[in-house]
Amino acid sequence: MRELVISLFKAYCPDTFLVQTIEESITAFAEAHANAEDAFVEKDVSGAYAYEEEAAALWEEIAAEYAGACQRQATDRRIFELFANDIVYISMMLTAQDPDAFIPYFFPCCYHVLTALADVFDIQLPPTPGRRDYVGRFRHYFELCRVLQAVRKEMMWSSEEFCAFLYDYGPKSAGGLNWLWQELPPPHAAYVIGASPEDPAFRKTDADVGEKEVFCWQGSPDTQPGDIILLYHWAPVSRFASVWRASAPGFVDPFFDQYRCVYIGHPISIPGPSFRTLREDALFCNHFLTKTRMLRMDGQEITPSEYARILMLIHQAGGDVSRLPVLENCFESSSSPEQIERERDVELCLLEPLLERLGWSREQYVRQMPLRMGRSFTVYPDYVILPEFTPGHERGQWVVEAKKSIPTAKQLETDCAQASSYALRLNAHGFMLVAQEGVWTATKEDDFENMAHYSWEDLREDDIFAKLYATAGNRRRRKNARR
């Protein structure tokens, strides 16, 4: 069994350390099961299974074991960490006791594969608990068992058949075996992470890491393939040590102790800058990174100008910055806004190139989408990003309207009212107006009331364009988005 599970896990998890960890857990379970078969007692589940009681009992058991070993009471966080670190072993033990109530959990640091599988097969997973809700994250495994066992029983599968679906057929059908990007797109953001200089994964130099080797680490769930990851080594090294690239979209994993996951590869070693250099630098002396003594580094994003400054400091330390990725977040149209003669020129010369720079491919938006407004008439939003065409339940992520000119506040109010009505009808995240004078955005989060404006001159600045990208860019790039 061990070889089969490891082969399946390797297919959707490229981190060799995680593969080794799950192999050790399965080996430990096999040894415990062989030596204590009489310890497993079948439970009566003729009625509704009491997952809450089972979760509470296990929580108390872990707390008691910790208190006995360490002579002090365990915090909620510590109890959860002990559970999460051994979730593969614990879930197998629970499943051995009652395969009709529990499932072995073979998705450590791969929760995104499970969510992709659930999306494809229309399985409604329980809500993901918040980062600091350690009790909720602990109980999340039991809620998963409740949901997945209900699916198994609905399909009339045996426990073995359901595991074959969950760890073989399901990930393959959901694209879970091909979620890493081998050819990385240009970066749109830069993030900072931290690690001990003694960590085995990050003691390697770029020469020691294979081209296809990747590691799972804590990072921002907003991270996208190709984005830049700056690795800082804590004391006693206390300096930036390497630059990596994100190999896949970041995600949240409730069973990962750090909660926020990112897979990174393609490292390039750099000679600093050190913490002392940053603390004495005019740009970084009052930066949140230095103010927190470089401790809050679990995927904090930095601006393009801040990344450019770090490149300069690397160069001053003797590093070869020509090997490092460049963060160019700006937009400059080939046509001047003054050359626009009609609304279609705005679409072709400004709007569509802007969407491309924001990461939206032509396959991801539709022009002039027919949209029924009530019973009496049909309207046609200029552009809808990620449209869904279910009659009566049309959806779209963004509405983009083109206008030749928006010269006055009154005209802006009229155009915003039109765009917001389309966005409300489509349950869109936001809308964007594009005209000779620039770009306006508003989001559903602010009830489409707080408008942000960017002139075309503004969007030539990396930091300003990065703000627009953070709002309206394709922050969840997928492989099929570039086909």
Residue for token pair 């197998």: 92
Q: Does pLDDT of 424 surpass 50?
A: yes
Q: Residue 121 and residue 110: Cα distance in Å, rounded?
A: 17
Query: What does pTM read for this prediction?
Result: 0.84
- State the DSSP H helix or E strand holding residue 3, giving kind and residue range, or none if neither: helix 2-12
Q: What is the DSSP string of 304-335?
A: HHHHHHHHHHHHHTT--GGGS---------SS
**Please, which residues bridge with residue 194 across strands?**
232
Q: What is the DSSP string of 419-480?
A: HHHHHHHTT-SEEEEEETTEEEEEEGGGTT-S-EEE-TTGGGSHHHHHHHHHHHS--S--GG
pLDDT attached to residue 210: 60
Query: Mind listing the pLDDT tens digit for each residue in 299-319?
Result: 999 999 999 999 999 999 999
Query: Mind listing the pLDDT tens digit for each residue in 33-73?
Result: 766 544 444 554 444 568 999 999 999 999 999 999 998 99
Q: Does pLDDT of 30 surpass 50?
A: yes
pLDDT attached to residue 211: 61
pLDDT attached to residue 207: 56
Query: Which residue has better confidence, 481 or 169?
Result: 169
pLDDT attached to residue 330: 83
Q: Among 21-25, 326-330, 351-355, which is the least confidently predicted range?
A: 326-330
How much of the chain, in percent, has pLDDT values that exceed 90? 66
Q: Does pLDDT of 296 surpass 80?
A: no
Query: Which residue has better confidence, 161 or 447?
Result: 161
Query: Mind listing the pLDDT tens digit for each residue in 177-210?
Result: 788 888 888 898 999 999 988 887 676 655 566 6
Q: Residue 242 and residue 265: Cα distance in Å, rounded?
A: 11
pLDDT attached to residue 112: 94
Strands 190-195 and 228-233: what pairing?
Answer: parallel
C-beta of residue 381 within 8 angstroms of C-beta of residue 411 = no
Query: Mind listing the pLDDT tens digit for each residue in 200-239?
Result: 767 665 556 666 688 899 999 999 999 999 999 998 899 9
The per-residue pLDDT of the chain, averaged, comes to: 88
Q: Does pLDDT of 475 surpass 90?
A: no
How much of the chain, in percent, has pLDDT values that exceed 70? 91
pLDDT attached to residue 127: 96
Closest CA to 466 of 365, 358, 361, 385: 358
Q: Does pLDDT of 173 surpass 80?
A: yes
pLDDT attached to residue 160: 92
pLDDT attached to residue 259: 95
Query: Mind listing the pLDDT tens digit for each residue in 75-92?
Result: 999 999 999 999 999 999
Q: Residue 204 and residue 221: Cα distance in Å, rounded?
A: 25
| Token digits of residue 232 | 């800082």
Q: Among 130-144, 165-179, 205-219, which is the least confidently predicted range?
A: 205-219
Q: Among 122-131, 169-178, 244-253, 271-280, which is the least confidently predicted range?
A: 169-178
CA atoms within 13 A on the CB side of 318: 2
pLDDT attached to residue 151: 96
pLDDT attached to residue 384: 95
